[in-house]
């Protein structure tokens, strides 16, 4: 019989709060984290709004000197990991450090560091480039810095699969735990993409909302008038353990990480498959991994970016996976509040699934006004909904055709 893998701790930094409690409270209250960009002057850009983790101060979570040697995505990863470890009550010792894995993913890595370093090289010369540039920009830096911070000596790496990175990292940790390669995992993702280069690039792809002066109603996932995503930032980390080990140390078990599915569209470098075939296959795979049927799913946290093609494709994917039951399962896009945190999104949304199961309340899709005939499912519009559920799935789809789905089950 397959050993159950359970969740014993969670940590977040997000546009809705600097910990799990704040982020979740604001999510179920329908608070938007979107506003004018304050990290830099965006006046020259066509897009001047984002969902920033505005009150994040790295020195509150780590030594100020170390903070200066870490990119923002690494700083947020350490902060989220610190909360997750404290929440789990896990003590890292010489005896267990080698059996703990840490997989903190990132789609983009330290883009601000890269952008700044290139400018310094061209304007001031190579001798002015920081010797910390490489460890600050590399995508595995969040995992490596966190491992150093907490003395974790097991497998340590990052998964890069665009906006599916966080979910794929958690899914990879689940498989490693199931095979006995490790006993405990810190798994999640961190992303700090709100830079002039990244905002400009995503806008050039045609993916961004440009509602700079009327940002109170964007993004609008699944709404007929949706016009694109809003970029977000943040980190989320979960502590995963084998059930016997968690019980033996008296851990508070939050939920079971029950299943994982991953596929590729093999269709287009940015656009999703119009029929959502890859997403549907990943959902079915995650449910098979969880040994669950579609009629057990009480909630879907959708990828739901607010782009015209993505939301239509995901709706079709859900219909392909669930059949007639697609019209009965509640679905929401929490990106309507957090913005799209790129690789970190799937990890944060896994946290939201755990919270929905534990608290019996489903977060809403805010900004939903005008139904789209092509997106005709139950998207929990505008108000959170009380519901007792035992199984939730979280969809994370990314550029390159990556599809990753996690299944979270109530622990009993």
Whether 340 is catalytic: yes
Instruction: Name the active-site residue from 340, 353, 367, 375.
Output: 340
pTM of structure:
0.97
**Any domain includes 128:** yes
Whether 87 is catalytic: no
Same domain for 156 and 303? no
- The pLDDT, as a whole number, for residue 267 is 86
Same domain for 270 and 402? yes
**Residues 297 and 329 sit within 8 Å (Cβ to Cβ):** yes
Rounded to whole angstroms, the Cα distance separating 157 from 372 reads 41
Read off φ and ψ for residue 160, nearest 5 degrees: -120, 105
Same domain for 151 and 11? yes
> End of a domain among 195, 221, 248?
248
> End of a domain among 218, 248, 278?
248
Whether 198 is catalytic: no
Q: Tally the domains of the chain.
A: 2
Helix intervals (H) in 156-276: 165-179, 196-205, 243-248
Same domain for 205 and 134? yes
Same domain for 187 and 299? no
**Any domain includes 253:** no
Instruction: Name the active-site residue from 163, 198, 353, 375.
Output: 163
**Any domain includes 183:** yes
3-state secondary structure of 24: helix
**pLDDT tens by residue, the chain, 412 residues:** 688 999 999 999 999 999 999 999 999 999 999 999 999 999 999 999 999 999 999 999 999 999 999 999 999 999 999 999 999 999 999 999 999 999 999 999 999 999 999 999 999 999 999 999 999 999 999 999 999 999 999 999 999 999 999 999 999 999 999 999 999 999 999 999 999 999 999 999 999 999 999 999 999 999 999 999 999 999 999 999 999 999 999 999 999 999 999 999 988 887 787 789 999 999 999 999 999 999 999 999 999 999 999 999 999 999 999 999 999 999 999 999 999 999 999 999 999 999 999 999 999 999 999 999 999 999 999 999 999 999 999 999 998 889 999 999 999 9
Same domain for 216 and 294? no
**Any domain includes 268:** yes
Same domain for 132 and 22? yes
Rounded to whole angstroms, the Cα distance separating 316 from 177 reads 33
Same domain for 279 and 318? yes
255-264, strands of its sheet edge to edge: 156-157, 100-105, 184-191, 234-242, 5-13, 255-264, 402-409, 391-398, 299-301, 331-332
**Any domain includes 30:** yes
Instruction: Name the active-site residue from 87, 303, 367, 402.
Output: 303
Same domain for 226 and 151? yes
Locate 285 and state its tokens: 């795979």
Locate 59 and state its tokens: 């020195």
**Any domain includes 32:** yes
- The pLDDT, as a whole number, for residue 1 is 66
Same domain for 270 and 390? yes
**Any domain includes 211:** yes
> Which structural domain range is residue 36 located in?
5-248
**Any domain includes 192:** yes
Classify burial at 356, counting beta carbons within 10 Å of its beta carbon; exposed 0-12, middle 13-18, buried 19 or more. buried
Same domain for 233 and 308? no
**Residues 160 and 343 sit within 8 Å (Cβ to Cβ):** yes
Which CATH number belongs to the domain containing residue 276 in this structure?
Answer: 3.40.47.10
> End of a domain among 219, 248, 277?
248
- The pLDDT, as a whole number, for residue 273 is 78
Same domain for 134 and 34? yes
């Amino acid at each position: 019989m397959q050993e159950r893998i359970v969740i014993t701790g969670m940590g977040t930094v997000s546009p809705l709060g600097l910990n799990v409690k704040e982020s979740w409270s604001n999510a179920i209250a329908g608070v938007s984290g979107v506003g004018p960009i304050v990290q830099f002057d965006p006046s020259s850009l066509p897009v001047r709004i984002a969902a920033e983790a505005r009150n994040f101060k790295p020195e509150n979570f780590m030594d100020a000197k170390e903070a200066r040697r870490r990119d923002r995505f690494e700083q947020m990863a350490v902060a989220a990991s610190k909360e997750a470890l404290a929440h789990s009550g896990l003590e890292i010792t010489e005896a267990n450090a080698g059996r703990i894995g840490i997989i903190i993913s990132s789609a983009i890595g330290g883009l601000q560091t890269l952008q700044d370093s290139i400018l310094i090289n061209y304007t001031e010369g190579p001798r002015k480039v920081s010797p910390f540039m490489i460890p600050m920009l590399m995508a595995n830096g969040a995992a490596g810095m966190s491992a150093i911070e907490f003395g974790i000596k097991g497998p340590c790496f990052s998964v890069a699969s665009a906006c599916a990175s966080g979910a794929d990292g958690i899914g990879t940790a689940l498989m490693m735990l199931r095979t006995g390669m490790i006993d405990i995992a810190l798994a999640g993702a961190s992303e700090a993409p709100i830079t002039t280069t990244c905002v400009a690039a995503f806008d050039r792809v045609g993916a961004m909302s440009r509602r700079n002066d009327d940002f109170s109603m964007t993004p609008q996932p699944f709404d007929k008038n949706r016009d694109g995503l809003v970029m977000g930032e943040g980190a989320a980390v979960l502590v995963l353990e084998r059930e016997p080990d968690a019980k033996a140390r008296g851990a508070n078990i939050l939920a079971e990480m029950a299943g994982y599915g991953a596929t590729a569209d093999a269709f287009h470098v940015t656009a999703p498959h119009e029929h959502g075939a890859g997403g549907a296959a990943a959902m079915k795979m995650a449910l098979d991994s969880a040994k669950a049927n579609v009629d057990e799913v009480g909630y879907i946290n959708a990828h739901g970016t607010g782009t015209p093609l993505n939301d239509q494709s995901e709706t079709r994917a859900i219909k392909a996976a669930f059949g007639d039951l697609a019209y009965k399962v509640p679905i929401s896009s929490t990106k309507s509040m957090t913005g799209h945190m790129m690789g970190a999104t799937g990890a944060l949304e896994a946290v939201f699934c755990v919270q929905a199961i534990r608290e019996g309340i489903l977060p809403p899709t805010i900004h939903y006004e005008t139904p789209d005939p092509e997106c005709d499912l139950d998207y929990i519009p505008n108000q959170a909904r009380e519901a007792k559920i035992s199984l939730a799935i979280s969809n994370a789809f990314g550029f390159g055709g990556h599809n990753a789905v996690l299944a979270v089950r109530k622990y009993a």
